[in-house]
Amino acid sequence: MIVALARRCRALFLVLAVLLPTVVALAPGAAAQSCPQAELIFARGRIEPAGAGQIGSALIGALRQKTGMDIDLYSVNYPADTEIDIGANDMSRRIQYMMDNCPDTRLVLGGYSLGAAVTDVVLAVPIAAFGFRNPLPAGADRQIAAVALFGNGIAWVGPISNFNPLYSDRTIELCHGDDPICNPTDPENWQDYWADHLAPAYINAGMVNQAADFVAGRL
């Protein structure tokens, strides 16, 4: 069984590495903090500046407006270059920190492009493997209220629920138009459709608002 899990994890890492093109926040604090009603833990897209990125920033604003809740934002701390494992380790650490220190806070996980791949690893890989050292403990799913993914390369092999069905009913995966990262339509000429993958395309198409409606209904 362990060998099978290792092979599955390796396959997931390889898929994500191949599908994400080569062209184109803060660490958990040790001090005590007041616990919000909810927290969005978001991983930005590839080569976006540090922070939550355009989509993460738009999503937290929409969630606060739609719910009226006290919702914190945690920006996954990673280089956002090719280091999916670094991002996955940080996201998982934050989830576990909140489980230990704010057990009543509802968690929302999210990611765009490379950040979606980061989230895939956290939710789908149950063992330490291939640089991912912080798999989620049993029971983490009880605190994770919703998952919002944008431009997710794993769509080429199926939704995240194929890897971990625990999150199938609380996950929204959005793919804009002919975004070549998440829409397997014309892989030979993917550069022609690159504009559909850019963050403003998702925001302008109302997909962040769509995700916020979905998440708000689960908080």
Q: How far is CA 143 from CA 105, 109, 129, 198, in A?
A: 7, 11, 24, 31
> 19 pLDDT band (50/70/90 cuts)?
very low
Complete domains list, the chain, with CATH: 6-21+35-216 (3.40.50.1820)
Residues with a catalytic annotation lie at 113, 179, 197
pLDDT score recorded for residue 185:
67
pLDDT score recorded for residue 158:
66
Other beta carbons less than 10 A from residue 118's beta carbon: 32
Cα 101 to the chain's mean position, in Å? 22
Sheet with strand 144-150: strands edge to edge: 71-75, 38-43, 106-112, 144-150, 171-174
The mean pLDDT of 175-190, rounded to a whole number, is 80
The CA distance from 113 to 217, in Å, is: 24
- DSSP lists the bridge partners of residue 173 as 149
- DSSP lists the bridge partners of residue 109 as 41, 147
Question: Whole-prediction pTM value?
Answer: 0.84
Q: Is 163 helix (H, G, I), strand (E, B) or coil?
A: coil
> 32 pLDDT band (50/70/90 cuts)?
very low
The mean pLDDT of 155-182, rounded to a whole number, is 84
Per the CB < 8 A criterion, the answer to whether 108 and 145 are in contact is yes
Residue 30 vs residue 203, higher pLDDT: 203
The CA distance from 215 to 209, in Å, is: 10
Does position 51 have pLDDT exceeding 90, yes or no? Answer: yes
Average pLDDT of every residue of the chain = 85
Residue 185 vs residue 198, higher pLDDT: 198
> 165 pLDDT band (50/70/90 cuts)?
confident
Does position 128 have pLDDT exceeding 50, yes or no? Answer: yes
User: Could you give the count of Cα atoms lying within 13 Å of 31 in the half-sphere of its Cβ?
Assistant: 2
